[in-house]
Structure 1
């Protein structure tokens, strides 16, 4: 289901081996550099910059699935071969000539295969270029702007071209000299981009128009997402398209045209929201779909990323003591995050909620695979990781103790935002949509479900089912009993995600909900809006098994407290210890050491209630019948 093979693991060996392991990503980036609109890229950036660029790609730690996903969006497009039309020549009368025959193995051969070599294609074909809406939310110093510009240049090399809208927290609407300050900031950003070797074009005139869009077809019925307060017409986007075709990064002012054709300053969020809707609905020329229109001058205007670059970093989390959210499921968490936003954060992160609202509006118009990232100017290289992997800097489904001690987590850690899916907890088997669950399990495991036996067992043992979306993913937890212990085992019977949702965050969303309902329950980090326990009650150990040759096991190793190979070698048993109990055990050991000096905290220490549990789990888990026919 998941692939955790990583090119970053090769950083400790010679760079040539790292290159071979990352050949798909590097080939794409090198193809972009060769096809760049700037002929003097190498001269401008130099060897050091090129090395930094390659190392940034390697440090992004892309898996095979991440690489394939990146190439699907930015790799060269396969084009139908063009067959030239050749007029049939008129027959010519020639005298008969005797031609000696040749042996078969000496006969000249003529290849009719006109397809170029794949290696040649990967070098000569340009990377398909996509767009990102970027909000640069100052104030920033010149040095900070140059750091941000470096990130924009790296993204451009990988095929993601920025459309920048400037913003400034210190601007006051209507103040004297406001227009001059806005223009000055646009020119500063433009100059910073050009100093780093890019080409930029300041667009000082309004691109968006105030008021609702006259195009009723773009207005969504029944949507709970607010519509942008501004709009664009197709012709309004021509300056942006012109700049992108010329290989320039457009830098826009946060201004709009009112009904009297006057230029007025509006909030940059309104400009970006209007641009996203307009660019997503922009009708490109028919020639853009022809086989001849493959040069790097053509850019897909549909935004693929929203990037908000500020000074404070990601959005504070109620579950991480104010440290930023790693990954946000908008569909499930949007209102809950707003309701749990603490008062002190209004001072330290004054624009966090408005940026969250901007992400919700924009992602509702962008493709389902798109994402938004709220990132500090201190982490421009993290934008590369976001582009290639489309994942947070650290997985949000890792054990909470690992996340707390992870050095990558700081007050400035970026927050990745996905449109996401609703998460619901079902406790009654009668509320399960059995046909949809059957489809999910069979497509995910690629096996045929033995329905009668499977649902008969759930009737007796079901604890709950966590469902993501419309059965796009599910985690089934049962209660199992064995000999020797009075308490039942919480057993993860099935964990499944549809293939098309593997890699879009659904796996992490589902596992976090599983954590909150089982081994993480009772802790502040498990307070959630999923309709389950919502952090209440006592957590309990979670146990599951997986086939020994399952490629997902590496992912399980990272999230479990321990594992044990079952007799026969066919299965591996995993478990997650109840985090609240672990916390209490650690505190008890600390007090014992302090009071008597007889007990010492260590990894091999076994609590009284843990003795014999592995044997109990093994016997119970090994006796569970297969669900497949």
Structure 2
């Protein structure tokens, strides 16, 4: 039921099975020829009406039996639990951890409790007690847990690190670990146990001292990624993917606390839904309200931790900041790798959504920088062409396409090094005096970046530059107008059989079927807000003056836009 409530799409399901599904079995090795020919020994058998049953071990194994005998591939997650929690709260957290383990994600847990005073006489005993409370909570829920009370990480930068880290856009961990230091974590994972660690590290005198839990988590992230890479390099070519081995590469970073996610300037302090760390990190710091330092004291430090960890983790990995009240959100995040509510939905739907509460989790992705380009001269034509052709699986008709963009381009939004792009044009009938239509000509994301948040980041930037323009929550750092200006209706068309249409239906204000096409549009949100206010006071008609005849006009103009593809 927990999986069904996550409402995974077909793509989400495939992604989950790719990470956690049964590993493909290696092809059987050909039998080796014996050095000497051995004659079979024939023994008398009693007469039977039918043939003798075949040897079970020689009979081909059915896929169902194989999937049962070779269970889901286990992956790891790093979890920081920000105590103190009551026994009931720990029970809620442990429930989520145990469900995740059943789905194939085994947690490596680091405990943090800032209520324990540093340097106090009973500091170590208090940390051990807090660790054992978490272990006991996990075991009460049916899991096997192991306290790892010895220091696993070492203080200071890694000896092989460069002296200067100026080129990095994240904070380098203040601690490090070597593959040999992970022996206790490996042992626990191999035994099917969840390792639970206090925030301890070895100093230069080999003394075990208390450090910030963020340093331990960041050091473990880097160390586990490097150890997993070494495992892959040292693995025998005939390795058969035994399920006893756990992939040490952290697939998720989970930060469980009482305060929930990072408060958002766009939602009056309710949490951010999805954060593009590459593009939004500095802006979130700049717009962080001073009042939130009291209500969310660790939000910015956790934001920094997520950026550091995700810099070492695979691009498809994500981090989630979640309240102890939302254990089911962890399951939904594991299956879909998406926020509880999509940040690219129309703002009106986000404002009235009952899922949006102070305890809604914040999903964080490494993300890509977003740029808004205003002229075709700024566009790298070769990279954009490659992106469009890979995304649409068709051949671009170059000359007419670029000629049309030279005349009609409004702007292009580019994610990263052309991992995704949205091309917006101004369309109007020749000689017409009406206002040009803001038309989404192309929206494309490389197949390798579908599912890593690029689609949502790109659409949010598109919203901020078109139908969301003019409202405070559109002042995002995407290199565009930063929320200043007047919003415009956004119009686009899609083939009626396009599987992406379900996604478009959720994000559009309306649609109109036009033979083989579906016309979509998003109304300018600022104008909608003004209209709603006037309706409330004057009881106006639901069809406004500016809406009369616009669908017919849009359909007429859009139908005349030539195809960009070679036949």
1:57 corresponds to which residue? 3
1:50-104 residue CA offsets vs partner (Å, 9 max, x unmatched): xxxxx101111111111111111111111322323231653989xxxxxxxxxxx
1:47 corresponds to which residue? none
Residue aligned with 2:315, SS: coil
1:623 aligns with 2:552: no
- The separation in 2 between residues aligned to 1:226 and 1:503, in whole angstroms, is 26
Output the TM-score relative to the length of structure 1: 0.84
- The separation in 2 between residues aligned to 1:183 and 1:323, in whole angstroms, is 35
CA contact (8 A) 1:126 1:295 kept: no
Match of 2:305 among 358, 372, 381: 358
1:522 aligns with 2:431: no
Match of 1:408 among 355, 362, 365: 355
1:607 corresponds to which residue? 544
Please give the residue correspondences for 1:40-189 in structure 2 after superposition, counting only pairs within 5 Å.
55-83=1-29, 84-87=31-34, 89-90=36-37, 116-189=61-134
- How big is the shift at 1:153? 0.5
Please give the residue correspondences for 1:259-270 in structure 2 after superposition, counting only pairs within 5 Å.
259-270=204-215
1:398 corresponds to which residue? 345
- The separation in 2 between residues aligned to 1:211 and 1:424, in whole angstroms, is 37
Change (3 A) 1:291 1:92: closer
1:583 corresponds to which residue? 529
- The separation in 2 between residues aligned to 1:515 and 1:417, in whole angstroms, is 20
Residue aligned with 2:231, SS: coil
1:571 aligns with 2:517: yes
- How big is the shift at 1:114? 7.2
1:556 aligns with 2:504: yes
Change (3 A) 1:402 1:89: same
**Structure 2 unaligned residues grouped into runs of 5+:** 41-53
1:330-354 residue CA offsets vs partner (Å, 9 max, x unmatched): 1111111111111111010000000
Change (3 A) 1:285 1:73: closer
- How big is the shift at 1:288? 5.4
Residue aligned with 2:319, SS: strand
1:510 corresponds to which residue? 458
1:477 aligns with 2:424: yes
Output the TM-score relative to the length of structure 2: 0.93
CA contact (8 A) 1:79 1:291 kept: no
359-368 vs 210-219, which deviates more?
210-219
- How big is the shift at 1:126? 1.8
1:310 aligns with 2:247: no
Residue aligned with 1:425, SS: strand
199-208 vs 475-484, which deviates more?
475-484
1:420 aligns with 2:367: yes
1:201 corresponds to which residue? 146
Change (3 A) 1:387 1:606: same
CA contact (8 A) 2:200 2:209 kept: yes
- How big is the shift at 1:117? 2.3
Change (3 A) 1:289 1:592: farther
1:533-587 residue CA offsets vs partner (Å, 9 max, x unmatched): 1111110100001111111111111100011112xx1111110000000000111
- How big is the shift at 1:224? 1.7
* Pairwise CA RMSD: 2.4
- The separation in 1 between residues aligned to 2:359 and 2:455, in whole angstroms, is 25
1:277-312 residue CA offsets vs partner (Å, 9 max, x unmatched): 111111338785565664443111111110000011
Match of 1:320 among 248, 267, 272: 267
1:334-384 residue CA offsets vs partner (Å, 9 max, x unmatched): 111111111111010000000000000000000111000000000011111
1:538 aligns with 2:483: no
2:51 corresponds to which residue? none
- The separation in 1 between residues aligned to 2:383 and 2:395, in whole angstroms, is 14
Residue aligned with 1:530, SS: coil
- The separation in 1 between residues aligned to 2:377 and 2:234, in whole angstroms, is 54
- The separation in 1 between residues aligned to 2:455 and 2:59, in whole angstroms, is 43
- How big is the shift at 1:618? 0.9
Change (3 A) 1:127 1:218: farther
Change (3 A) 1:287 1:430: closer
Change (3 A) 1:453 1:286: closer
- The separation in 2 between residues aligned to 1:350 and 1:298, in whole angstroms, is 38
297-306 vs 438-447, which deviates more?
297-306
- How big is the shift at 1:222? 2.5
**Structure 1 unaligned residues grouped into runs of 5+:** 1-54, 94-108, 594-598
1:300 corresponds to which residue? 247
How many residues get paired? 552
Please give the residue correspondences for 1:201-280 in structure 2 after superposition, counting only pairs within 5 Å.
201-216=146-161, 222-280=167-225
Residue aligned with 2:254, SS: strand
488-497 vs 68-77, which deviates more?
68-77
CA contact (8 A) 1:287 1:293 kept: no
1:547 aligns with 2:457: no
1:25 corresponds to which residue? none
